[in-house]
Amino acid sequence: MLERTQMITREAIAEAEASEDLDDDDIFSGKPSDWEYDASTEEVRHDSEEAEAGREGLQDEGHEGEENPPTPILDAYEKSRDPAEMERLIALAFDSLPERAGPQSNAAVRAELGIQSLRSGRDARKLTWQYRMCGMGEERLPRIVWEAKWANKKRGRQPTEWVKVVEDVWKGFDIGEDETLETEGPQGFKEKISVACAEREEQNLRKECKDKEGLEVYGMLKEGIGFKDYLHGPMDAGTKLKVKFRTGDIGLRERRRRHRTVDEEDDEFKCDCGFECEDRVHVVAECPLYKKEREVYVTELGKIDGTYREMFEAWNREERTVAVLGHRRWVEKAGRDIVRIDRLGKTFLSHLWQSRKERLAIGDRSCGNNAPSSRGRVNIKYKEKAQRTAAHERKLQKRRDRKARDLALFATWRDKGPAEESADAVGRS
């Protein structure tokens, strides 16, 4: 049976290659021989889905009627078309963010980069293959093979019908199956599927921001999915901090609260100023410990335009946080000043975070649970050494004082004559 399946598949591919309806990319992007069916999860997996994810799943958010702006990461990726290179570029841009990001921030990271999930790319390939097969006659071998039942007994797979597989995919979209399949031309069909996938990604992002703890701030930004403008240019310390503040991958005590247990007390999450939780909104907008940094930010904001300072002071804590971490509050008002405001916000975050590190007496690398880092342990070691040195100096000073006193007594005895010494002896007796 397996040999017959392989033979039929080879014939199907040869027939599809000879057909004018298919091109090479469409043939090998979703041919049935590469698909595997998992009965336990009711999903179809592609052997090369991770390799294809970077090529098929990247979608930038653009305004209607405008082209998507080019991005450094995507430009470099387009030259190589290598998924491994894409991962390297992302890791380079975000330093250690992809490795450190937890499940609660994965959706935010994908939205920052404009990357769709693997599911969207996989579903788009399934439906594109269905569109190709439905355009063929029922007597064509590729369609016969596609509609046939397959059984991979070697891995214990259950037989499945590929037509049934795409039915589950259509249930996840808000568009009609029959109407979409009647689209003329594969390019128009792909555009409709791409729009449907983007809408579903937006809905999923809004749902996760609403339901998952830790994504509340990203939900406030309401910037959607797409490579963000503030990521253009060098990845300096301010840009890295802005990424971490936006996605929630920052070492504040609110992150410990997401993984708390029933026995843990709320005191462990309190800010040092006494507020109930050290979260991003509190730290950026109202914490009195960073009042000096906030005043400098407001002053510099007023130098750009006096109305900007008045607007910022009139906003509430959530609106101030959105103004510092995002650009939605400034788009209509700031205009060309948006770049300067963005740079000022990054500087404010850098000074704020440096002040926090100095206050907690930790090193350059902040730990998630606020424990001293390796640099912090070195600082503590030097402090203890200085204390020991000071104690040793006090002991040496006591010895020097005692020696000086003994020398003074010896000099006094030496200067006295024999008569005075005998008189002293008589007096003591």
Answer yes or no: is pLDDT of 91 > 60.
Answer: no
Helix axis angle for 118-134 and 162-171, nearest 10°, is 130
Strand partners, 38: 43
Q: How far is CA 251 from CA 57, 230, 280, 300, in A?
A: 30, 22, 10, 27
Give the pLDDT confidence of 26-61 residue by residue, as tens digits: 433 333 333 333 333 333 333 334 334 333 333 333
Q: How far is CA 342 from CA 94, 140, 352, in A?
A: 18, 58, 15
Residues 205 and 336 in one domain: no
Residues 98 and 126 in one domain: yes
Distance CA 309, CA 288 (A): 19
Give the pLDDT confidence of 263-286 residue by residue, as tens digits: 555 567 888 888 888 888 999 999
Region 69-75: what's the mean pLDDT?
49
Give the tokens for residue 240.
Answer: 């890295």
Q: Which of 175, 204, 205 is nearest to 192 (CA)?
A: 175
Within 10 A of 261 (CB to CB), how many other CB atoms are there? 5
Q: Report phi then psi at 23, rounded to 5.
A: -110, 175
- Confirm whether 228 is domain-assigned: no
Residues 83 and 152 in one domain: yes
- Confirm whether 239 is domain-assigned: no
Give the pLDDT confidence of 283-301 residue by residue, as tens digits: 999 999 999 999 999 999 8
Q: Which of 203, 218, 213, 237 is nearest to 109 (CA)?
A: 218
Residues 40 and 178 in one domain: yes
Give the tokens for residue 195.
Answer: 């729009």
When mean pLDDT is compared across 197-211, 326-340, 398-412, the lowest value belongs to 326-340
- Confirm whether 157 is domain-assigned: yes
When mean pLDDT is compared across 106-120, 261-275, 341-355, the lowest value belongs to 261-275
Region 102-125: what's the mean pLDDT?
80
- SS3 of the chain: the string is CHHHHHHHHHHHHHHHHHCCCCCHHHHHCCCHHHEEEECCCCEEEECCHHHHHHHHHECCCCCCCCCCCCCHHHHHHHHHCCHHHHHHHHHHHCCCHHHHCCHHHHHHHHHHHCECCHHHHHHHHHHHHHHHHHCCCCCCHHHHHHHCEECCHHHCCCCEEHHHHHHHHHHCCCCCHHHHHCCCCHHHHHHHHHHHHHHHHHHHHHHHHHHCCCCHHHHHHCCCCCECHHHCCCCCHHHHHHHHHHHCCCCCCHHHHHCCCCCCCHHHHCCCCCCCCCCHHHHHHCCHHHHHHHHHHHHHHHHHCHHHHHHHHHCCHHHHHHHHHCCCCCHHHHHHHHHHHHHHHHHHHHHHHHHHHHHHCCCCCCCCCCCCCHHHHHHHHHHHHHHHHHHHHHHHHHHHHHHHHHHHHHHHHHHCCHHHHHHHHHHHC
Answer yes or no: is pLDDT of 340 > 50.
Answer: yes
User: Would you state the pLDDT for residue 45?
Assistant: 38
- Confirm whether 234 is domain-assigned: no
- Confirm whether 180 is domain-assigned: yes
Domain boundary among 330, 360, 390: 360
CB-CB contact of 256 with 250 (8 Å): no
Residues 382 and 332 in one domain: no
Domain boundary among 360, 394, 410: 360
Distance CA 181, CA 201 (A): 21
Residue range of the domain that includes 144: 2-221
Overall pTM surpassing 0.85 (yes/no): no
Confidence of residue 422 (pLDDT cuts 50, 70, 90): low
Distance CA 323, CA 217 (A): 12
Number of structural domains, the chain?
3
User: Would you state the pLDDT for residue 105?
Assistant: 61
Residues 341 and 387 in one domain: no
Confidence of residue 334 (pLDDT cuts 50, 70, 90): low
Mean pLDDT value across the chain: 71
Q: Which of 120, 111, 121, 56 is nearest to 83 (CA)?
A: 56
User: Would you state the pLDDT for residue 299?
Assistant: 92
Looking at per-residue pLDDT, the higher value among 223 and 62 belongs to: 223
Answer yes or no: is pLDDT of 164 > 90.
Answer: no
Domain boundary among 360, 387, 406: 360
Confidence of residue 417 (pLDDT cuts 50, 70, 90): low
Give the tokens for residue 400.
Answer: 């020097």
What is the length of the chain?
A: 429
When mean pLDDT is compared across 15-19, 86-90, 129-133, 414-418, the lowest value belongs to 15-19
Looking at per-residue pLDDT, the higher value among 92 and 390 belongs to: 390
Confidence of residue 414 (pLDDT cuts 50, 70, 90): confident
- Confirm whether 368 is domain-assigned: no
User: Would you state the pLDDT for residue 37?
Assistant: 34
Give the tokens for residue 326.
Answer: 């995002």
Residues in CB range of 330: below 8 A, 6 or more apart: 308, 323, 337, 338, 341
Confidence of residue 209 (pLDDT cuts 50, 70, 90): confident
Residues in CB range of 96: below 8 A, 6 or more apart: none
Residues 339 and 311 in one domain: yes
Region 310-337: what's the mean pLDDT?
82
Residues 81 and 121 in one domain: yes
Confidence of residue 251 (pLDDT cuts 50, 70, 90): confident
User: Would you state the pLDDT for residue 144?
Assistant: 86
Answer yes or no: is pLDDT of 12 > 90.
Answer: no
Looking at per-residue pLDDT, the higher value among 182 and 24 belongs to: 182
Residues 144 and 93 in one domain: yes
Within 10 A of 375 (CB to CB), how many other CB atoms are there? 14
Confidence of residue 352 (pLDDT cuts 50, 70, 90): very high
Percent of the chain with pLDDT over 90: 10
Residues 286 and 331 in one domain: yes
Residues 44 and 158 in one domain: yes
Task: Please report, in angstroms and rounded to a whole number, the separation of the first and last CA atoms in the chain.
Answer: 126
- Confirm whether 233 is domain-assigned: no
- Confirm whether 144 is domain-assigned: yes
Give the tokens for residue 132.
Answer: 């190709």
Looking at per-residue pLDDT, the higher value among 42 and 190 belongs to: 190
Residues 76 and 211 in one domain: yes
Percent of the chain with pLDDT over 70: 60
Pairing of strands 43-46, 149-150: unpaired
